[in-house]
């Protein structure tokens, strides 16, 4: 049995390919770092719970039933089996690059009617919407008016002379070519 003559050449080519791939990947590490500093992944806002406005809190009155409270505030985020006389409303908004907003409100019931409300001071709807400003800077709008210096660069030309009145106006066409070919 004899070995084929191409075995050492094939082994050398394989090692050469491995070395080239390794060098290519080593070069990609630096490129990957540079690319990751330019390209950033999209990060979405995370909203959890019920947003409750100061207008909703003002609408609550002692003596309201559970159904009336639920119609005003929505379904509570937490209802404890051990504390069935209170409902917990928690609202959290996490946005990339902005400190997370968390607000809590607890509604206490006595004999299935609302007794009192405790919690953070809630913003009005207008205040909450104003706090949702975006981080993206608005693009700069270019100035759309030319200055006197810019206008001076263009020479003032005389308007073109009106065509002489000796030429008759063109006559409208009296027949038109067919839209479809006549041979089928």
C-beta separation of 102 from 92 below 8 A: yes
**What domains does the chain contain, in order, with CATH numbers?**
46-130 (3.30.1450.10)
- Chunked into runs of 10 residues, the chain (184 residues) has average pLDDT values of 58 74 63 63 82 91 92 86 87 84 92 92 87 64 78 70 67 79 70
38: left (phi over 0), alpha (psi -120 to 50) or beta: alpha
Amino acid 33: pLDDT:
63
Rounded Cα distance between 98 and 135, Å, is 9
pTM: 0.50
């Amino acid at each position: 049995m004899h070995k084929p003559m191409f075995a050492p050449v094939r082994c050398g080519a394989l090692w050469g390919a491995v070395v080239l791939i390794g060098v290519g990947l080593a070069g990609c590490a630096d490129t990957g770092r540079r690319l990751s500093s330019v390209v950033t992944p999209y990060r979405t806002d995370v909203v959890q719970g019920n947003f409750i406005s100061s207008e909703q809190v003002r609408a609550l009155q002692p003596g309201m039933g559970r159904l009336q409270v639920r119609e005003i505030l929505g379904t509570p985020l937490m209802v404890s089996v051990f504390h069935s006389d209170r409902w917990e409303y928690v609202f959290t908004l996490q946005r990339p690059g902005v400190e997370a907003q968390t607000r809590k409100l607890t509604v206490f019931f006595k004999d299935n009617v609302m007794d009192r409300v405790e919690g953070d001071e809630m913003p009005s709807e207008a205040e909450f919407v104003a706090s949702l400003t975006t981080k993206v800077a608005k693009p700069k709008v270019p100035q759309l008016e030319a200055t006197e210096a810019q206008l001076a660069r263009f020479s003032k030309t005389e308007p073109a002379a009106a065509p002489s009145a000796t030429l008759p106006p063109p006559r409208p066409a009296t027949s038109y070519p067919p839209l479809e070919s006549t041979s089928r």
